[in-house]
Amino acid sequence: MQTVPPLFAAADSLGAKGGEGWRVLQGDSLHLLPQLPDCSADLIFADPPYNLQLKKELYRPNMTRVEGVSDEWDKFSSFAEYDSFCEKWLVQCRRILKPSGAIWVIGTYHNIFRIGRLMQDIGYWLLNDIVWNKTNPMPNFRGVRFTNATETLLWAKKSEKARCVFNHKTMKAENGGKQMTNVWRIPLCGGKERLRDSSGKKLHSAQKPEELLRRVILSSTKSGYIVFDPFLGSGTTVAVARMLGRTGLGVEREEKYAKIAADRIANVPPECLAQPDKPENKPIPLASETPPALVPKRPPENAAARNAV
Higher-pLDDT residue of 285, 42: 42
Q: Give, to the nearest 10 degrees, the angle between helix 255-266 and helix 236-243.
A: 20
Rounded Cα distance between 221 and 43, Å, is 7
What integer pLDDT is reported at residue 142 of this predicted model? 77
Report if residue 237 sits inside a domain: yes
Q: Sort residue 235 into left (φ over 0), alpha (ψ -120 to 50) or beta.
A: left
Please write the tens of the pLDDT for every residue from 188-198: 988 888 889 88
Report if residue 239 sits inside a domain: yes
Q: Note whether 191 and 210 are within 8 A (CB).
A: no
What integer pLDDT is reported at residue 73 of this predicted model? 57
Q: Give the 3-state secondary structure of residue 42.
A: strand
Please write the tens of the pLDDT for every residue from 54-76: 555 655 555 555 555 556 656 78
What integer pLDDT is reported at residue 233 of this predicted model? 94
Domain count within the chain: 1
Q: Note whether 242 and 268 are within 8 A (CB).
A: yes
Please write the tens of the pLDDT for every residue from 215-259: 999 999 999 999 999 999 999 999 999 999 999 999 999 999 999
Q: How many CB atoms lie within 10 A of CB 35?
A: 13
Report if residue 1 sits inside a domain: no
Higher-pLDDT residue of 279, 108: 108
What's the rounded mean pLDDT across residues 36-57?
86
What integer pLDDT is reported at residue 304 of this predicted model? 46
In angstroms and rounded to an integer, the radius of gyration of the C-alpha atoms of the chain is: 19
Rounded Cα distance between 24 and 268, Å, is 14
pTM equals 0.83
Instruction: For residue 305, name the pLDDT band (cuts at 50, 70, 90).
Output: very low
What integer pLDDT is reported at residue 192 of this predicted model? 87
| Burial of 100 (C-beta count, 10 Å sphere; 0-12/13-18/19+) | middle
Higher-pLDDT residue of 90, 201: 90
Report if residue 122 sits inside a domain: yes
Q: How many CB atoms lie within 10 A of CB 61?
A: 9
Say yes or no to pLDDT of 295 above 50.
Answer: no
Higher-pLDDT residue of 60, 212: 212
How far from 52 is each of 59, 73, 77, CA to CA, in Å? 17, 11, 12
Please write the tens of the pLDDT for every residue from 263-282: 999 999 887 887 544 333 33
Looking up residue 26, the CATH number of its domain turns out to be 3.40.50.150
Amino acid at residue number 117: R
C-alpha angle 211-52-123 in degrees, rounded to nearest 5: 70
What integer pLDDT is reported at residue 282 of this predicted model? 37
Instruction: For residue 206, name the pLDDT band (cuts at 50, 70, 90).
Output: confident
What's the rounded mean pLDDT across residues 27-31?
97
What integer pLDDT is reported at residue 57 of this predicted model? 60
How confident is the prediction for the chain on average, in pLDDT?
86
What is the domain range of residue 22? 6-308
Distance of CA 36 to the CA centre of its chain: 19
Please write the tens of the pLDDT for every residue from 113-148: 999 999 999 999 999 999 999 999 888 877 888 999
Alpha helices, DSSP H only, in the chain? 6-13, 29-32, 79-96, 112-122, 168-174, 210-220, 236-243, 255-266, 303-308
